[in-house]
Amino acid sequence: MAIVLGLLAALAGVGVWWWRLQMAADAARGVADAAGEVRGFWRRMLWNRKAGRNQLDMVDDPREAAAAMLVVLAQYDGALTDAEQTLIKQQMHDTFDASGSEAEELLARGRWLARDTGVDPAQA
């Protein structure tokens, strides 16, 4: 009988430790979830600050502003042609020492900014 009671006590001890480990794992998951929610809150807050603003207000790089201005001016008489795009990239290279890929990125960013502004250079 003592052996049976000893086995039951050992089994109960293992069960208690198993239950405590599960509780600790649940607490760790709760902490991780809370940290994820804080990080998500921070990202949502930053996104909400950017979402309601004009894209041109968020331009920090003067090269991007110049690219957007050149694209808007080039589109004054119609759609942006290949010759105008080549000239803008050449000006980015000459003025800002931008490599070919940087000039291409600046032109793409300028076109994106010019598209989203809705500014008509004839009216401005």
Report pLDDT for 90: 92
Q: Write the pLDDT tens digit of every residue in 61-97.
A: 889 889 999 998 888 888 888 999 999 999 889 988 8
What tens digit of pLDDT does each residue of 31-57 get? 888 887 877 788 877 777 666 667 777
Is 63 within 8 Å of 92 (Cβ atoms)? yes
- Alpha carbon of 82 to those of 18, 72, 77, 95: distances in Å? 70, 15, 14, 20
pTM over 0.85: no
In whole angstroms, give the CA distance from residue 68 to residue 56. Answer: 9
Calpha distance 41→80 (Å, rounded): 41
| DSSP3 helix / strand / coil % (the chain, rounded to 5) | 85, 0, 15
